[in-house]
Structure 1
Protein backbone atom coordinates (compact mmCIF):
# COMPACT_ATOMS: atom_id res chain seq x y z
CA UNK A 1 0.00 0.00 0.00
CA UNK A 2 1.33 3.38 -1.03
CA UNK A 3 0.28 6.40 1.04
CA UNK A 4 -0.70 9.59 -0.68
CA UNK A 5 -2.26 13.02 -0.35
CA UNK A 6 -5.31 14.40 -2.13
CA UNK A 7 -5.97 17.94 -3.26
CA UNK A 8 -8.78 17.73 -0.67
CA UNK A 9 -6.08 17.67 2.01
CA UNK A 10 -4.68 20.92 0.62
CA UNK A 11 -8.08 22.62 0.30
CA UNK A 12 -7.24 25.73 2.38
CA UNK A 13 -3.90 26.42 0.71
CA UNK A 14 -5.11 25.61 -2.79
CA UNK A 15 -7.92 28.16 -2.45
CA UNK A 16 -5.29 30.88 -1.92
CA UNK A 17 -3.38 30.10 -5.13
CA UNK A 18 -3.95 30.91 -8.77
CA UNK A 19 -5.25 27.89 -10.69
CA UNK A 20 -2.89 26.47 -13.27
CA UNK A 21 0.24 24.46 -13.93
CA UNK A 22 2.46 26.06 -11.26
CA UNK A 23 -0.06 25.36 -8.51
CA UNK A 24 -0.22 21.66 -9.42
CA UNK A 25 3.58 21.45 -9.60
CA UNK A 26 3.78 23.09 -6.18
CA UNK A 27 1.60 20.40 -4.64
CA UNK A 28 3.50 17.60 -6.35
CA UNK A 29 6.64 18.87 -4.61
CA UNK A 30 4.82 19.41 -1.34
CA UNK A 31 3.47 15.85 -1.38
CA UNK A 32 7.07 14.65 -1.47
CA UNK A 33 8.16 17.07 1.29
CA UNK A 34 5.37 15.93 3.61
CA UNK A 35 6.22 12.26 3.15
CA UNK A 36 3.61 11.16 0.61
CA UNK A 37 4.18 8.68 -2.19
CA UNK A 38 1.08 9.48 -4.28
CA UNK A 39 -0.61 12.74 -5.24
CA UNK A 40 -4.28 12.46 -6.17
CA UNK A 41 -5.43 15.44 -8.24
CA UNK A 42 -9.06 15.13 -7.23
CA UNK A 43 -12.00 17.40 -8.13
CA UNK A 44 -9.59 20.05 -9.39
CA UNK A 45 -11.23 21.31 -12.62
CA UNK A 46 -8.30 23.56 -13.66
CA UNK A 47 -6.45 20.41 -14.76
CA UNK A 48 -8.99 20.05 -17.57
CA UNK A 49 -7.67 23.25 -19.13
CA UNK A 50 -4.00 22.30 -19.20
CA UNK A 51 -2.49 21.60 -22.58
CA UNK A 52 -1.08 18.11 -23.13
CA UNK A 53 2.44 19.55 -22.93
CA UNK A 54 1.61 20.97 -19.49
CA UNK A 55 0.18 17.64 -18.31
CA UNK A 56 3.44 16.03 -19.41
CA UNK A 57 5.32 18.58 -17.29
CA UNK A 58 3.25 17.47 -14.29
CA UNK A 59 4.12 13.84 -15.04
CA UNK A 60 7.81 14.67 -15.43
CA UNK A 61 7.86 16.57 -12.14
CA UNK A 62 6.12 13.68 -10.36
CA UNK A 63 8.52 11.15 -11.89
CA UNK A 64 11.48 13.25 -10.74
CA UNK A 65 10.11 13.34 -7.19
CA UNK A 66 9.22 9.64 -7.19
CA UNK A 67 5.53 10.50 -6.80
CA UNK A 68 2.76 8.41 -8.36
CA UNK A 69 -0.14 10.42 -9.76
CA UNK A 70 -3.85 9.66 -9.58
CA UNK A 71 -6.71 11.57 -11.19
CA UNK A 72 -10.12 12.44 -9.79
CA UNK A 73 -13.36 14.07 -10.87
CA UNK A 74 -17.12 13.93 -10.34
CA UNK A 75 -19.68 12.30 -12.59
CA UNK A 76 -19.78 9.31 -14.93
CA UNK A 77 -21.25 10.61 -18.17
CA UNK A 78 -19.29 8.78 -20.88
CA UNK A 79 -17.91 11.91 -22.56
CA UNK A 80 -16.68 13.29 -19.26
CA UNK A 81 -15.07 10.01 -18.24
CA UNK A 82 -13.36 9.77 -21.63
CA UNK A 83 -11.92 13.26 -21.09
CA UNK A 84 -10.46 12.12 -17.77
CA UNK A 85 -9.21 8.83 -19.17
CA UNK A 86 -7.14 10.95 -21.55
CA UNK A 87 -5.87 13.12 -18.69
CA UNK A 88 -5.04 10.02 -16.65
CA UNK A 89 -3.24 8.44 -19.60
CA UNK A 90 -1.03 11.50 -20.15
CA UNK A 91 -0.26 11.74 -16.42
CA UNK A 92 0.51 8.04 -16.21
CA UNK A 93 -2.28 7.65 -13.64
CA UNK A 94 -3.75 4.17 -13.26
CA UNK A 95 -6.57 5.25 -10.93
CA UNK A 96 -9.45 7.61 -11.71
CA UNK A 97 -11.58 8.36 -8.69
CA UNK A 98 -15.06 9.67 -9.42
CA UNK A 99 -18.61 9.86 -8.08
CA UNK A 100 -21.85 8.63 -9.61
CA UNK A 101 -23.41 12.08 -9.28
CA UNK A 102 -22.09 15.41 -10.49
CA UNK A 103 -23.59 18.89 -10.38
CA UNK A 104 -24.85 18.38 -13.92
CA UNK A 105 -26.07 14.77 -13.85
CA UNK A 106 -27.82 12.49 -11.35
CA UNK A 107 -28.24 9.21 -13.22
CA UNK A 108 -30.61 6.45 -12.23
CA UNK A 109 -29.09 3.12 -11.25
CA UNK A 110 -29.82 1.77 -14.73
CA UNK A 111 -28.23 4.80 -16.41
CA UNK A 112 -25.17 4.59 -14.17
CA UNK A 113 -24.61 0.97 -15.14
CA UNK A 114 -25.01 1.64 -18.86
CA UNK A 115 -22.76 4.70 -18.83
CA UNK A 116 -19.99 2.79 -17.08
CA UNK A 117 -20.32 -0.21 -19.37
CA UNK A 118 -19.91 2.20 -22.28
CA UNK A 119 -16.42 3.31 -21.16
CA UNK A 120 -15.03 -0.07 -20.11
CA UNK A 121 -13.27 -0.65 -23.48
CA UNK A 122 -11.31 2.63 -23.13
CA UNK A 123 -10.44 1.84 -19.51
CA UNK A 124 -9.15 -1.55 -20.54
CA UNK A 125 -7.21 -0.12 -23.49
CA UNK A 126 -5.38 2.45 -21.34
CA UNK A 127 -5.06 0.43 -18.14
CA UNK A 128 -7.08 2.85 -16.01
CA UNK A 129 -9.31 1.76 -13.13
CA UNK A 130 -12.30 3.81 -11.99
CA UNK A 131 -12.85 4.14 -8.24
CA UNK A 132 -16.46 5.12 -7.43
CA UNK A 133 -16.42 6.88 -4.09
CA UNK A 134 -18.69 5.91 -1.20
CA UNK A 135 -20.57 9.05 -0.23
CA UNK A 136 -23.93 10.15 1.11
CA UNK A 137 -26.20 10.40 -1.96
CA UNK A 138 -25.56 6.75 -2.88
CA UNK A 139 -25.99 3.86 -0.45
CA UNK A 140 -22.95 1.61 -0.33
CA UNK A 141 -25.06 -1.42 -1.24
CA UNK A 142 -26.22 0.43 -4.38
CA UNK A 143 -22.64 1.29 -5.32
CA UNK A 144 -21.73 -2.38 -4.93
CA UNK A 145 -24.70 -3.31 -7.11
CA UNK A 146 -23.45 -0.99 -9.85
CA UNK A 147 -19.95 -2.46 -9.73
CA UNK A 148 -21.22 -6.04 -9.73
CA UNK A 149 -23.59 -5.38 -12.63
CA UNK A 150 -20.90 -3.75 -14.78
CA UNK A 151 -18.66 -6.70 -13.98
CA UNK A 152 -15.30 -5.27 -15.01
CA UNK A 153 -12.08 -5.28 -12.97
CA UNK A 154 -11.63 -1.72 -14.25
CA UNK A 155 -14.68 -0.48 -12.29
CA UNK A 156 -14.35 -0.53 -8.51
CA UNK A 157 -14.93 1.48 -5.36
CA UNK A 158 -13.06 4.29 -3.65
CA UNK A 159 -13.58 3.28 -0.05
CA UNK A 160 -14.18 6.34 2.17
CA UNK A 161 -15.86 5.07 5.35
CA UNK A 162 -16.45 8.56 6.77
CA UNK A 163 -18.49 9.99 3.92
CA UNK A 164 -21.63 7.95 4.43
CA UNK A 165 -22.17 8.83 8.09
CA UNK A 166 -24.69 11.52 7.15
CA UNK A 167 -26.70 8.80 5.37
CA UNK A 168 -26.68 6.89 8.71
CA UNK A 169 -24.29 4.24 7.45
CA UNK A 170 -21.77 3.05 10.03
CA UNK A 171 -18.15 3.24 8.79
CA UNK A 172 -17.63 -0.46 9.58
CA UNK A 173 -20.64 -1.35 7.43
CA UNK A 174 -19.21 0.66 4.54
CA UNK A 175 -15.91 -1.19 4.95
CA UNK A 176 -17.62 -4.59 5.14
CA UNK A 177 -19.67 -3.99 2.01
CA UNK A 178 -17.11 -2.20 -0.13
CA UNK A 179 -13.69 -3.63 0.63
CA UNK A 180 -13.84 -6.53 -1.82
CA UNK A 181 -14.37 -4.04 -4.66
CA UNK A 182 -11.88 -1.38 -3.56
CA UNK A 183 -9.62 0.15 -6.21
CA UNK A 184 -8.70 3.12 -3.98
CA UNK A 185 -9.02 4.19 -0.34
CA UNK A 186 -9.59 7.65 1.13
CA UNK A 187 -8.24 8.07 4.64
CA UNK A 188 -10.32 10.80 6.25
CA UNK A 189 -10.58 10.68 10.04
CA UNK A 190 -13.24 12.35 12.13
CA UNK A 191 -14.62 12.90 15.63
CA UNK A 192 -18.09 13.56 16.95
CA UNK A 193 -18.21 16.21 19.66
CA UNK A 194 -21.10 17.87 21.44
CA UNK A 195 -22.04 21.40 20.49
CA UNK A 196 -22.15 24.17 23.07
CA UNK A 197 -24.93 23.68 25.62
CA UNK A 198 -25.05 20.00 24.54
CA UNK A 199 -27.49 20.76 21.72
CA UNK A 200 -26.57 18.22 19.08
CA UNK A 201 -23.17 17.19 17.77
CA UNK A 202 -20.52 18.40 15.34
CA UNK A 203 -18.76 15.97 13.02
CA UNK A 204 -15.30 17.41 12.38
CA UNK A 205 -11.99 16.19 11.07
CA UNK A 206 -8.92 14.84 12.83
CA UNK A 207 -5.49 13.69 11.70
CA UNK A 208 -5.73 10.14 10.40
CA UNK A 209 -5.25 7.70 13.25
CA UNK A 210 -6.28 10.22 15.91
CA UNK A 211 -10.05 10.22 15.46
CA UNK A 212 -12.85 7.66 15.42
CA UNK A 213 -12.05 5.99 12.10
CA UNK A 214 -11.12 2.39 12.89
CA UNK A 215 -7.91 2.35 10.85
CA UNK A 216 -6.88 -1.08 12.15
CA UNK A 217 -10.19 -2.62 11.07
CA UNK A 218 -9.92 -0.99 7.64
CA UNK A 219 -6.40 -2.33 7.11
CA UNK A 220 -7.34 -5.80 8.41
CA UNK A 221 -10.33 -5.91 6.03
CA UNK A 222 -8.16 -4.99 3.05
CA UNK A 223 -5.61 -7.60 4.05
CA UNK A 224 -8.26 -10.33 4.39
CA UNK A 225 -9.50 -9.62 0.87
CA UNK A 226 -5.90 -9.34 -0.40
CA UNK A 227 -6.67 -5.86 -1.77
CA UNK A 228 -3.58 -3.89 -2.82
CA UNK A 229 -4.53 -0.25 -3.36
CA UNK A 230 -3.21 3.21 -2.64
CA UNK A 231 -4.54 4.98 0.45
CA UNK A 232 -4.99 8.72 0.08
CA UNK A 233 -5.18 11.18 2.98
CA UNK A 234 -7.99 13.75 2.96
CA UNK A 235 -8.78 16.23 5.73
CA UNK A 236 -11.89 17.77 7.24
CA UNK A 237 -9.94 20.61 8.85
CA UNK A 238 -12.03 23.45 10.32
CA UNK A 239 -10.88 27.01 9.72
CA UNK A 240 -8.51 28.28 12.41
CA UNK A 241 -7.96 31.89 13.48
CA UNK A 242 -6.44 32.94 10.14
CA UNK A 243 -5.79 31.57 6.66
CA UNK A 244 -2.08 31.15 7.32
CA UNK A 245 -2.65 29.38 10.62
CA UNK A 246 -5.14 27.07 8.92
CA UNK A 247 -2.61 26.23 6.19
CA UNK A 248 0.06 25.57 8.83
CA UNK A 249 -2.27 23.23 10.73
CA UNK A 250 -3.19 21.57 7.42
CA UNK A 251 0.49 20.72 6.85
CA UNK A 252 0.89 19.52 10.42
CA UNK A 253 -2.17 17.25 10.17
CA UNK A 254 -0.91 15.75 6.93
CA UNK A 255 2.49 14.96 8.41
CA UNK A 256 0.87 13.41 11.48
CA UNK A 257 -1.58 11.44 9.34
CA UNK A 258 1.17 9.95 7.19
CA UNK A 259 3.33 9.20 10.23
CA UNK A 260 0.42 7.47 11.98
CA UNK A 261 -0.36 5.41 8.88
CA UNK A 262 3.25 4.36 8.41
CA UNK A 263 3.26 3.23 12.02
CA UNK A 264 0.03 1.30 11.48
CA UNK A 265 1.62 -0.37 8.47
CA UNK A 266 4.88 -1.02 10.38
CA UNK A 267 6.71 1.31 8.02
CA UNK A 268 8.10 3.89 10.45
CA UNK A 269 11.42 3.76 8.61
CA UNK A 270 9.88 4.98 5.33
Structure 2
Protein backbone atom coordinates (compact mmCIF):
# COMPACT_ATOMS: atom_id res chain seq x y z
CA UNK A 1 0.00 0.00 0.00
CA UNK A 2 1.65 3.24 -1.17
CA UNK A 3 0.95 6.18 1.14
CA UNK A 4 2.74 9.49 1.33
CA UNK A 5 2.66 13.24 1.11
CA UNK A 6 1.99 15.98 -1.39
CA UNK A 7 3.69 19.34 -1.48
CA UNK A 8 0.30 20.56 -0.20
CA UNK A 9 1.20 18.92 3.13
CA UNK A 10 4.03 21.51 3.25
CA UNK A 11 1.88 24.38 1.99
CA UNK A 12 2.87 26.87 4.70
CA UNK A 13 6.27 25.48 5.61
CA UNK A 14 7.33 25.79 1.98
CA UNK A 15 5.82 29.24 1.45
CA UNK A 16 7.18 32.77 1.58
CA UNK A 17 5.11 33.36 4.71
CA UNK A 18 7.90 31.74 6.74
CA UNK A 19 11.44 33.01 7.28
CA UNK A 20 13.15 29.92 5.82
CA UNK A 21 10.86 28.06 3.39
CA UNK A 22 11.46 24.33 3.04
CA UNK A 23 13.08 23.23 -0.19
CA UNK A 24 11.65 20.44 -2.29
CA UNK A 25 14.56 18.27 -1.26
CA UNK A 26 13.78 18.89 2.43
CA UNK A 27 10.13 17.95 1.86
CA UNK A 28 11.23 14.71 0.21
CA UNK A 29 13.56 13.97 3.10
CA UNK A 30 10.78 14.51 5.66
CA UNK A 31 8.43 12.29 3.66
CA UNK A 32 10.95 9.46 3.96
CA UNK A 33 11.63 10.17 7.64
CA UNK A 34 7.90 9.83 8.37
CA UNK A 35 7.77 6.53 6.50
CA UNK A 36 6.07 7.76 3.35
CA UNK A 37 6.29 5.62 0.22
CA UNK A 38 5.39 8.37 -2.24
CA UNK A 39 5.96 12.12 -2.60
CA UNK A 40 3.80 14.04 -5.06
CA UNK A 41 5.29 17.30 -6.33
CA UNK A 42 1.95 18.95 -7.02
CA UNK A 43 1.30 22.49 -8.29
CA UNK A 44 4.90 23.42 -7.64
CA UNK A 45 5.74 25.58 -10.68
CA UNK A 46 9.31 26.25 -9.53
CA UNK A 47 10.19 22.77 -10.73
CA UNK A 48 9.76 23.97 -14.32
CA UNK A 49 12.98 25.97 -13.88
CA UNK A 50 15.02 23.05 -12.48
CA UNK A 51 17.87 22.16 -14.81
CA UNK A 52 18.73 18.59 -15.79
CA UNK A 53 21.34 18.30 -13.04
CA UNK A 54 18.97 19.26 -10.24
CA UNK A 55 16.24 16.96 -11.56
CA UNK A 56 18.77 14.12 -11.68
CA UNK A 57 19.83 14.86 -8.11
CA UNK A 58 16.19 14.89 -6.96
CA UNK A 59 15.57 11.54 -8.64
CA UNK A 60 18.71 10.07 -7.09
CA UNK A 61 17.66 11.35 -3.65
CA UNK A 62 14.23 9.72 -4.00
CA UNK A 63 15.79 6.43 -5.10
CA UNK A 64 18.21 6.51 -2.18
CA UNK A 65 15.34 7.15 0.25
CA UNK A 66 13.08 4.52 -1.30
CA UNK A 67 10.37 7.07 -2.12
CA UNK A 68 8.38 7.03 -5.38
CA UNK A 69 7.97 10.43 -7.01
CA UNK A 70 4.75 11.66 -8.59
CA UNK A 71 4.13 14.95 -10.34
CA UNK A 72 1.20 17.35 -10.55
CA UNK A 73 0.19 20.43 -12.51
CA UNK A 74 -2.92 22.17 -13.85
CA UNK A 75 -4.33 22.36 -17.36
CA UNK A 76 -4.41 20.39 -20.59
CA UNK A 77 -2.35 22.68 -22.83
CA UNK A 78 -0.28 20.56 -25.24
CA UNK A 79 2.99 22.41 -24.70
CA UNK A 80 2.47 22.61 -20.95
CA UNK A 81 1.70 18.92 -20.52
CA UNK A 82 4.57 18.15 -22.84
CA UNK A 83 6.94 20.05 -20.59
CA UNK A 84 5.69 18.15 -17.55
CA UNK A 85 6.10 14.85 -19.34
CA UNK A 86 9.72 15.82 -19.97
CA UNK A 87 10.15 16.52 -16.26
CA UNK A 88 8.37 13.26 -15.44
CA UNK A 89 10.79 11.33 -17.63
CA UNK A 90 13.82 12.88 -15.95
CA UNK A 91 12.38 12.11 -12.50
CA UNK A 92 11.27 8.59 -13.34
CA UNK A 93 7.64 9.51 -12.68
CA UNK A 94 4.81 7.31 -13.95
CA UNK A 95 1.84 9.28 -12.55
CA UNK A 96 1.05 12.85 -13.54
CA UNK A 97 -1.92 14.61 -11.96
CA UNK A 98 -3.61 17.52 -13.73
CA UNK A 99 -6.86 19.45 -13.95
CA UNK A 100 -9.02 20.37 -16.93
CA UNK A 101 -8.75 24.14 -16.39
CA UNK A 102 -5.71 26.33 -15.88
CA UNK A 103 -6.26 30.07 -15.47
CA UNK A 104 -8.07 31.44 -18.50
CA UNK A 105 -7.64 28.20 -20.46
CA UNK A 106 -11.02 26.55 -19.93
CA UNK A 107 -11.60 24.00 -22.70
CA UNK A 108 -15.03 22.55 -23.39
CA UNK A 109 -15.47 18.85 -22.80
CA UNK A 110 -15.11 18.29 -26.55
CA UNK A 111 -11.85 20.26 -26.69
CA UNK A 112 -10.54 18.57 -23.56
CA UNK A 113 -11.27 15.19 -25.17
CA UNK A 114 -9.42 16.17 -28.35
CA UNK A 115 -6.39 17.38 -26.41
CA UNK A 116 -6.21 14.24 -24.32
CA UNK A 117 -6.60 11.97 -27.33
CA UNK A 118 -3.70 13.78 -28.97
CA UNK A 119 -1.60 13.23 -25.85
CA UNK A 120 -2.40 9.53 -25.53
CA UNK A 121 0.40 8.18 -27.77
CA UNK A 122 3.03 9.95 -25.69
CA UNK A 123 1.47 8.77 -22.42
CA UNK A 124 1.51 5.19 -23.69
CA UNK A 125 5.05 5.38 -25.04
CA UNK A 126 6.36 6.91 -21.80
CA UNK A 127 4.34 4.65 -19.52
CA UNK A 128 2.70 7.57 -17.71
CA UNK A 129 -0.84 7.64 -16.31
CA UNK A 130 -2.55 11.03 -16.34
CA UNK A 131 -4.83 11.51 -13.31
CA UNK A 132 -7.48 14.23 -13.73
CA UNK A 133 -8.62 15.61 -10.40
CA UNK A 134 -12.18 16.01 -9.21
CA UNK A 135 -12.81 19.62 -8.20
CA UNK A 136 -15.53 22.22 -8.12
CA UNK A 137 -14.84 23.98 -11.44
CA UNK A 138 -15.76 20.96 -13.56
CA UNK A 139 -18.72 18.78 -12.63
CA UNK A 140 -17.98 15.15 -11.93
CA UNK A 141 -20.32 14.07 -14.72
CA UNK A 142 -18.50 16.32 -17.21
CA UNK A 143 -15.10 15.02 -16.08
CA UNK A 144 -16.22 11.41 -16.23
CA UNK A 145 -17.78 11.99 -19.63
CA UNK A 146 -14.36 12.93 -21.00
CA UNK A 147 -12.54 10.04 -19.29
CA UNK A 148 -15.14 7.45 -20.28
CA UNK A 149 -15.21 8.71 -23.87
CA UNK A 150 -11.47 8.22 -24.19
CA UNK A 151 -11.63 4.92 -22.28
CA UNK A 152 -7.91 4.29 -21.89
CA UNK A 153 -6.08 3.09 -18.75
CA UNK A 154 -3.50 5.86 -19.17
CA UNK A 155 -6.13 8.51 -18.31
CA UNK A 156 -8.02 8.20 -15.04
CA UNK A 157 -9.25 10.05 -11.97
CA UNK A 158 -7.39 11.70 -9.12
CA UNK A 159 -10.15 11.46 -6.54
CA UNK A 160 -10.51 14.23 -3.98
CA UNK A 161 -14.14 14.34 -2.86
CA UNK A 162 -13.54 17.29 -0.54
CA UNK A 163 -13.01 19.62 -3.51
CA UNK A 164 -16.46 18.96 -4.95
CA UNK A 165 -18.37 20.07 -1.86
CA UNK A 166 -17.93 23.65 -3.07
CA UNK A 167 -20.03 22.71 -6.13
CA UNK A 168 -22.65 21.12 -3.85
CA UNK A 169 -21.72 17.62 -4.99
CA UNK A 170 -21.77 15.20 -2.08
CA UNK A 171 -18.58 13.25 -1.34
CA UNK A 172 -20.55 10.00 -1.43
CA UNK A 173 -21.90 10.64 -4.93
CA UNK A 174 -18.47 11.73 -6.20
CA UNK A 175 -16.85 8.57 -4.85
CA UNK A 176 -19.49 6.33 -6.38
CA UNK A 177 -19.35 8.04 -9.79
CA UNK A 178 -15.56 7.92 -10.10
CA UNK A 179 -14.44 4.85 -8.12
CA UNK A 180 -13.87 2.48 -11.04
CA UNK A 181 -11.60 4.99 -12.82
CA UNK A 182 -9.55 6.18 -9.84
CA UNK A 183 -5.77 5.97 -10.28
CA UNK A 184 -4.69 8.35 -7.49
CA UNK A 185 -6.19 9.48 -4.18
CA UNK A 186 -5.79 12.91 -2.58
CA UNK A 187 -6.78 12.52 1.04
CA UNK A 188 -7.79 15.43 3.24
CA UNK A 189 -10.58 15.80 5.75
CA UNK A 190 -12.77 18.88 6.11
CA UNK A 191 -15.55 20.64 7.95
CA UNK A 192 -18.38 22.35 6.03
CA UNK A 193 -20.04 24.44 8.72
CA UNK A 194 -21.76 27.73 9.37
CA UNK A 195 -19.43 30.69 9.68
CA UNK A 196 -19.27 32.61 12.92
CA UNK A 197 -22.31 34.79 13.33
CA UNK A 198 -24.42 32.38 11.25
CA UNK A 199 -23.89 34.37 8.06
CA UNK A 200 -22.76 31.95 5.34
CA UNK A 201 -20.65 28.83 5.59
CA UNK A 202 -16.98 27.88 5.62
CA UNK A 203 -15.25 24.89 4.07
CA UNK A 204 -11.92 24.29 5.80
CA UNK A 205 -9.62 21.42 6.62
CA UNK A 206 -9.24 19.39 9.80
CA UNK A 207 -7.20 16.37 10.92
CA UNK A 208 -8.11 13.14 9.19
CA UNK A 209 -10.95 11.32 10.91
CA UNK A 210 -12.36 14.44 12.59
CA UNK A 211 -14.44 15.85 9.74
CA UNK A 212 -16.99 14.97 7.09
CA UNK A 213 -14.88 12.96 4.64
CA UNK A 214 -16.51 9.49 4.37
CA UNK A 215 -13.10 7.86 4.68
CA UNK A 216 -14.12 4.28 5.42
CA UNK A 217 -16.73 4.22 2.65
CA UNK A 218 -14.21 5.67 0.19
CA UNK A 219 -11.62 3.03 1.08
CA UNK A 220 -14.14 0.21 0.71
CA UNK A 221 -15.38 1.43 -2.64
CA UNK A 222 -12.05 2.41 -4.21
CA UNK A 223 -9.99 -0.37 -2.61
CA UNK A 224 -6.64 1.36 -3.23
CA UNK A 225 -4.49 -1.33 -1.58
CA UNK A 226 -5.45 -4.17 -3.91
CA UNK A 227 -5.51 -1.89 -6.98
CA UNK A 228 -2.10 -0.33 -6.34
CA UNK A 229 -3.47 3.21 -6.05
CA UNK A 230 -1.25 5.71 -4.25
CA UNK A 231 -2.78 7.65 -1.36
CA UNK A 232 -1.40 11.16 -0.97
CA UNK A 233 -2.08 13.38 2.03
CA UNK A 234 -2.89 17.08 1.61
CA UNK A 235 -4.17 19.74 4.03
CA UNK A 236 -6.61 22.64 4.01
CA UNK A 237 -5.03 24.24 7.05
CA UNK A 238 -5.98 27.93 7.55
CA UNK A 239 -3.21 30.33 8.53
CA UNK A 240 -3.04 30.59 12.30
CA UNK A 241 -1.97 33.55 14.45
CA UNK A 242 1.68 33.41 13.35
CA UNK A 243 4.16 31.39 11.29
CA UNK A 244 5.45 29.33 14.22
CA UNK A 245 1.98 28.20 15.25
CA UNK A 246 0.92 27.48 11.68
CA UNK A 247 4.01 25.43 10.86
CA UNK A 248 3.79 23.46 14.09
CA UNK A 249 0.16 22.60 13.43
CA UNK A 250 0.89 21.67 9.82
CA UNK A 251 3.58 19.26 11.01
CA UNK A 252 1.22 17.78 13.62
CA UNK A 253 -1.54 17.27 11.06
CA UNK A 254 0.90 15.53 8.72
CA UNK A 255 2.02 13.04 11.36
CA UNK A 256 -1.53 12.44 12.57
CA UNK A 257 -2.89 11.93 9.06
CA UNK A 258 -0.16 9.50 8.05
CA UNK A 259 -0.70 7.47 11.22
CA UNK A 260 -4.48 7.52 10.71
CA UNK A 261 -4.15 6.46 7.09
CA UNK A 262 -1.89 3.54 7.92
CA UNK A 263 -3.95 2.33 10.88
CA UNK A 264 -7.27 2.52 9.00
CA UNK A 265 -6.12 1.15 5.65
CA UNK A 266 -4.51 -2.08 6.77
Pick the TM interval, shorter chain: over 0.9
Does 2:50 correspond to 1:50? yes
Give, in whole Å, the separation in 1 of the partners of 2:123 and 2:137.
25
Report what 2:71 is aligned to.
71
For 2:20 and 2:132, locate their aligned partners in 1 and report how far apart those are by CA, in whole Å. 26
TM-score, with length taken from structure 2: 0.95
Q: CA deviation at 1:111?
A: 0.5
Q: Deviations over 1:52-101 (max 9, x none)?
A: 12111101111111111000000011111111111111111111000000
Q: Partner of 1:70: helix, strand, or coil?
A: strand
Q: Distance in 1 between matches of 2:77 and 2:20?
A: 25
2-structure distance, mates of 1:245, 1:33: 22
Q: Is the 8 A contact 1:239 1:246 kept in 2?
A: yes
Give CA deviations for 1:212-259 in whole Å, capped at 9, x if unaligned: 101100100012996331011010001111112101110100100010
Partner of 2:126: 126
Contact 1:74 1:102 in 2 (8 A): yes
Cα separation, 2, equivalents of 1:224 and 1:30:
24
Q: Return the offset for 1:194.
A: 2.7
Q: Report the secondary structure of 2:106's partner residue.
A: coil
* Alignment-derived partner of residue 232 in structure 1: 232
Moved more, 51-60 or 216-225: 216-225
Is the partner of 2:69 in helix, strand or coil? strand
Once the two structures are overlaid, the 10-residue window that deviates more, 169-178 or 216-225, is: 216-225
SS at match of 2:248: helix
Q: What count of residue pairs does the alignment treat as equivalent?
A: 265
Unaligned 5+ segments in structure 1 are none
> Hey, what's the Cα distance between the residues in 1 that align with 2:117 and 2:35?
37
In structure 2, the residue matched to 1:211 is 211
Structure 2 residue ranges without an equivalent (≥5): none
Give the CA deviation at 1:150: 1.4
Distance in 2 of aligned mates of 1:224 and 1:251: 25
Q: CA deviation at 1:198?
A: 2.5
Bigger Cα displacement from structure 2, 77-86 vs 245-254: 77-86
Are the equivalent residues in 2 in contact too, given 1:222–1:228 (CA < 8 A)?
no
Shift of 1:25: 0.7
Structure 1 residue 201 displacement after superposition: 2.3
Aligned position for 1:184:
184
1:180–1:225 Cα contact (<8 Å) kept: no
Matched, 1:34 2:34: yes
Q: TM-score, normalised by structure 1?
A: 0.93
TM-fit CA distance, 1:19: 11
Name the residue aligned to 1:162: 162
Partners of 1:100 and 1:112 within 8 A in 2? yes
User: Residue 196 and residue 18 in structure 1: after superposition, are their counterparts in 2 closer, same or farther (change >3 A)?
Assistant: closer
Partner of 2:103: 103
